[in-house]
Amino acid sequence: MTTTARPYVGTALDRVEGMEKVTGRARYAYEHSPDELAYAVPVQASIARGEVRAIDVQAALTIPGVIAIIWHRNAPRLAPADNAELSVLQSARVAYRGQYIAVAVAETLQAAGEAARSLSVDYAGEPHDTELRADHPGLYRPEKVNAGYPTDSEHGDPDAAMEAAPIRVDATYSTPAEHNNPMEPHATVARWDADGLTLYDSTQGASAVRATLAALFTMPPANVRVIASHVGGGFGSKGQPLAPVVLAALAAKHVTRPVKLAVPRQQMFAVTGYRTPTIQRVRLGADVDGRLTAIVHEAIEQCSTIREFAEQTTTPTRIMYAAPNRRTTHRVVKLDVPTPSWMRAPGEAPGMFALESAMDELAIACGIDPVELRVRNEPDADPESGEPFSSRNLVACLREGARRFGWADRDPTPGARLVGRTLIGTGVAASTYPAYRSPSQASARLEPDGRYTVRIAATDIGTGARTVLTQIAADALRTSPDRVTVEIGDSALPPATLAGGSMGTASWGTAVVRACEALREQVSRSGDLPSAGLEAAADTKEEIGAQERFSRHAFGAQFAEVGVDVDTGEARVLRLLGVFAAGRIVNPKTARSQFIGGMTMGLSTALFEESLMDREFGDYLNRDLAQYHVAACADVRDIEAVWIEEDDPHLNPMGTKGIGEIGIVGTAAAIANAVHHATGIRIRDLPIRLDKLL
Ligand code: MOS
C-alpha cells in the first residue's frame, strides 16, 4: 500500500463514470428491458375531487396488444401506507385532478397510450377548493414541520419589540408553486419473479424505495431489489417513492410480466410533487443603527387533503440573525390539490427569499449598506438554540463577495443608472443550508488483485457522488482513486440514506471512511498472512447519534447585477456571483457544478418559474416546458461560484458540509434586491415578470 495521506480529497477528479455516460453505456432506469416486457401508461383523474363511479374498459380491451386495464376494482391490494399518495388504485376517491385512477398495460407503448386515452370514466364530482389564501378558514397549525422542526418558535416579546422599534419593516411576500423538472422524468421497470420484486427505478434513494415497496406488498425487504445505477436528476422529486413506482410494481404483479412505466413530462405536473406556494409576512424591528430588535416570520402554505406536507419555510430565519425578540410560524391548509413535496432547498429557498428581501428593505429604511446591515446582525451563537455554530463564515462570504463583485463603489440610490434603455442595479442576499448527516452503512474489501471495492447504497443523481466517494475512499485507504471501485445505486448494497437534504457526501462519506479504516486495521492485523479477500463493514448510526451538540450550517452570499429594459420591463441577470463557506470541498469541479446549478435554479425562480392554478378545473395549467418556463442557457450570462475553505472539525471525518442546495438559497432575493436597486420597484411576489415592472 502507498502511504500518502489524504491527497485526493480536494482535487478536481473527473467523473469516474464520465466515459460511460458520454458513450451511452451508462444505463438509466428506462433503458432496462427484461424479456416479456409490457408497457404501462397511467390515467389521471379529470376532476379535482369526488369519486370514480365506473370505468368503461370495453373499447380499450379491443385494441390490439392491450393486456389489461387496472383500476381500483381489479387492482392488487396494498397494505395501508402512512403516505396515502402510495395507496395507488386502492379506492374510488379522487383527491386532486391528475391523481392516478387507472393504468393501461399493453405489448407496446403506443397500444397502452391508445388504451389509456380510450377509457370512459364516470365520476361523481364534488365541489373543490384549490385556492391558497392568507385568510383561508382551513389554515391550521401542523404538529411539526418537515425535517422534524418545531412548527413555531418564540423568544422574548416580538410584538412589544416591534411596537417600540424606531425602524420597522412589515411586508408580505409570496412565492408560487414550482414544479421539479429533472431532465430524466421518473421511470420504473418492475419485474416479479420467485425471489420477489426487482425495480429499476429513477430514485434518489434505493434503500428507501425497497423499504416502502416491501411494506406495501407485505414482503420482507430482502425480497425487493431496487437498482438505480444512474439517475438524471431529481431535485427532491425522487427523494421518496411516490405513486409511479408503486403503479409500476402493481401493474407488473397484475399482468405477471415485467412492466415499464415512464412518467410523461406532462404528468409530472400532478404526480411527482412540487414546491408549495407560500404567503409570508416578515416583520423586522431595528434600532436606528440597524441592529435588529425583533424578527417575526410567518408562513402560510398548502398541502393536499390526503397527506400533510408542511414545508419548513421559516426555519432558516431561526438561525440567521441576532435579535432578542423573535417569532417564526407555519400554517398549512389542506386543499384539493396534489401533494407538494421536496424541491431543492425546500423551505430555505422560499423562506430566504422573504427574509433576505426584508433585510434589503430594512437596509434602505436605515440608510445602511445591505452588506453592512447583515454583518452588524451576525449572532455569536445559534440565536434559537444557543448552541455554538460548528463554523459560520457568512461575514467572510459577504466581505469576499463584495470585494470580488466591486460592491464598494455602489451608489445605493434606486433607479439612478440608465445605460441606453436599460436600468442597471445590484443586489445582495445571504444563503444558508443545514449540514445534516444521516446513518448509513458501507463495506470495503481488498480484492485478490490488490484493488479495493467499496459498497454503499448511495445514489448519484448527477452530482458526482460516485466520484467524490472514490476520492474519499482512496484517501481513507491510503491509495489512489484508480485502485478503488465504488459500487452504489443498488439496494442490495449496504443500506444508506438518500441523495437528499444535501447530506449525501457527509453521510455516505462517514460510512465509507469508517469501513475503509476498519479494513486497513484488518489488513495490518493480518501481518504476513494473505490479506486479499478481507472485508470490513461500518454502520454510522452510533457515531452520528453520539455527535457533539453544535449548530451546523453552510453559509453563503450572493451578488446579482440586473438590467431592466425600461420599455419592455424585461429583467435580465447580467452577473451572478456566489461565495460559499461549506466546509471542505471534496472536488472543486463537481462542487462548482452544484453551486452554479443551484444559482441557475435560483435565477430561474426569480424570473421564470411559476405553476398557475386553474381554479375552475382545479389543477396547474402549465404542464410542459413550453408553458412552465425554466432558465435556458441564454438567460445565464456571467455566473460564478467561489468558496472559502473551512476547516471545521465538528462535522464528519471529511470536514464537509452539503453543497447541493445552498446555491439556490438567497439567489432570488439577491436578484429582486437588484431589481429594486435598478428600478425602485420592490417585487415581493415571485417570479419577477415584466408586467410587474411596467
Ligand atoms: Mo433535496 S430537495 O433535499 O432532494
pTM: 0.97
pLDDT in tens, 62-95: 999 999 999 999 999 999 999 999 999 999 999 9
CA 453 to ligand 1 center in whole angstroms: 28
Q: What DSSP character marks residue 429?
A: E
Q: What are the catalytic residues? A: 661
Query: Which of 342, 348, 461, 497 for a ligand 1 pocket mutation test, highest count of atoms within 8 Å of Cβ?
Result: 342
Q: Is 501 in the pocket of ligand 1 (CB under 6 A)?
A: yes
Whether 34 and 84 have beta carbons less than 8 Å apart is answered as: no
- Res 3 pLDDT > 70: no
pLDDT in tens, 464-480: 999 999 999 999 999 99
Pairing of strands 100-106, 38-44: antiparallel
Q: pLDDT class for 530, splitting at 50, 70, 90?
A: confident
Q: Is 666 in the pocket of ligand 1 (CB under 6 A)?
A: no
Pick from 186-200, 335-349, 528-542, 548-562: least confident = 528-542
Give the other-Cβ count within 10 Å of 363's Cβ.
23
Question: Which pLDDT value is given to residue 1?
Answer: 43
pLDDT in tens, 153-175: 999 999 999 999 999 999 999 99
Whether 314 and 336 have beta carbons less than 8 Å apart is answered as: no
CA 235 to ligand 1 center in whole angstroms: 5
CB contact set of 492 (below 8 Å; sequence gap of 6+): 225, 457
**Equal fold, 18-27+439-545 vs 144-178+274-435+550-692:** yes
Buried b / exposed e along 524-542 (16+ C-beta atoms within 10 A):
eeeeeeebeebebbbbbee
Cα(150)–Cα(144) distance, integer angstroms: 5
Q: Which three cell numbers stand for residue 455?
A: 459498497
Pairing of strands 441-446, 422-434: unpaired
Tell me the average pLDDT across 269-281.
Answer: 97
pLDDT in tens, 204-229: 999 999 999 999 999 999 999 999 99
Q: Which three cell numbers stand for residue 436?
A: 445534516
In Å, how far are 105, 110, 194, 220, 287 from 334, measured between CA atoms? 33, 37, 42, 34, 39
Strands of the 259-262 sheet, one edge to the other: 66-71, 100-106, 38-44, 259-262, 187-193, 196-201, 224-227
Give SS3 for 390. coil
Cα(563)–Cα(576) distance, integer angstroms: 12
Q: Is 347 in the pocket of ligand 1 (CB under 6 A)?
A: no
Q: What DSSP character marks residue 189?
A: E
Nearest protein Cα to ligand 1, atom 4: 236
Question: Which pLDDT value is given to residue 529?
Answer: 81
Tell me the average pLDDT across 522-542.
Answer: 91
CA-CA-CA-CA torsion sign (92, 95, 97, 102): negative
Cα(386)–Cα(244) distance, integer angstroms: 43
Pairing of strands 484-487, 452-455: parallel
Q: Which three cell numbers stand for residue 197?
A: 420484486
- CA nearest neighbour of 585 among 525, 660, 488, 681: 660
- The CATH code of domain 32-127+183-233+238-271 reads 3.30.365.10
Cα(428)–Cα(624) distance, integer angstroms: 32
Give the other-Cβ count within 10 Å of 118's Cβ.
18
The angle subtended at Cα 421 by Cα 417 and Cα 423, nearest 5°, is 30
**Which atom of ligand 1 has the smallest separation from the CA of 342?**
2
CA 433 to ligand 1 center in whole angstroms: 11
Residue type, 400: E
- CA nearest neighbour of 180 among 665, 529, 605, 567: 605
- Res 532 pLDDT > 70: yes
CA 128 to ligand 1 center in whole angstroms: 30
Query: Which of 238, 661, 662 for a ligand 1 pocket mutation test, highest count of atoms within 8 Å of Cβ?
Result: 661
> H or E segment at 334?
strand 325-335
- The CATH code of domain 144-178+274-435+550-692 reads 3.30.365.10
Whether 233 and 226 have beta carbons less than 8 Å apart is answered as: no
Cα(509)–Cα(520) distance, integer angstroms: 16
Averaged pLDDT of the chain: 97
Domain residue limits, the chain: 18-27+439-545, 32-127+183-233+238-271, 144-178+274-435+550-692
- The CATH code of domain 18-27+439-545 reads 3.30.365.10
Q: Which three cell numbers stand for residue 283?
A: 416583520
pLDDT in tens, 345-394: 999 999 999 999 999 999 999 999 999 999 999 999 999 999 999 999 99
Query: Which of 202, 344, 459, 662 for a ligand 1 pocket mutation test, highest count of atoms within 8 Å of Cβ?
Result: 344
- Res 193 pLDDT > 70: yes
Whether 211 and 86 have beta carbons less than 8 Å apart is answered as: no
**Which atom of ligand 1 has the smallest separation from the CA of 204?**
4
pLDDT in tens, 39-58: 999 999 999 999 999 999 99
Cα(591)–Cα(349) distance, integer angstroms: 19
Cα(203)–Cα(240) distance, integer angstroms: 7
pLDDT in tens, 668-691: 999 999 999 999 999 999 999 999
pLDDT in tens, 277-321: 999 999 999 999 999 999 999 999 999 999 999 999 999 999 999
Tell me the average pLDDT across 597-612.
Answer: 98
Q: Is 343 in the pocket of ligand 1 (CB under 6 A)?
A: yes
Write the secondary structure of 70-117 as one string of H (helix), E (strand) and C (coil).
EECCCCCCCCCCCCHHHCCCCCCEECCCCCEEEEEEECCHHHHHHHHH
Q: Is 239 in the pocket of ligand 1 (CB under 6 A)?
A: yes
Q: Is 346 in the pocket of ligand 1 (CB under 6 A)?
A: yes
**Which atom of ligand 1 has the smallest separation from the CA of 343?**
2
Q: Is 236 in the pocket of ligand 1 (CB under 6 A)?
A: yes
Whether 79 and 89 have beta carbons less than 8 Å apart is answered as: no
ipTM above 0.95, yes or no: yes
Whether 252 and 190 have beta carbons less than 8 Å apart is answered as: yes
Tell me the average pLDDT across 616-632.
Answer: 95
Q: pLDDT class for 6, splitting at 50, 70, 90?
A: low
Residue type, 667: T
pLDDT in tens, 11-45: 999 999 999 999 999 999 999 999 999 999 999 99
CA 480 to ligand 1 center in whole angstroms: 31
pLDDT in tens, 407-439: 998 999 999 999 999 999 999 999 999 999 999
- Res 460 pLDDT > 70: yes
